[in-house]
Amino acid sequence: MKSLLFAFLLLCSIHCTTTTVYICDSPNATRYHFRENCRGLSNCHYHIVKTTLEKAKAKNLTLCKWEQ
For residue range 17-58, list pLDDT tens digits in order.
Answer: 789 999 999 999 999 999 999 999 999 999 999 999 999 999
According to the model, what pLDDT value does residue 68 have?
A: 86
Query: What does residue 53 show for φ and ψ, rounded to 5 degrees?
Result: -60, -40
Whether residue 4 lies inside any domain: the answer is: no
CA distance 40 to 24: 10
According to the model, what pLDDT value does residue 15 have?
A: 54
Whether residue 9 lies inside any domain: the answer is: no
Number of folded domains in the chain?
Answer: 1
Q: Indicate the pLDDT class of residue 11, thresholds 50, 70 and 90.
A: low
How close are the terminal C-alpha atoms of the chain, in Å?
A: 44
CA distance 59 to 33: 14
Domain that residue 60 falls in: 18-67
Whether residue 27 lies inside any domain: the answer is: yes
The answer to whether 22 touches 33, Cβ cutoff 8 Å, is yes
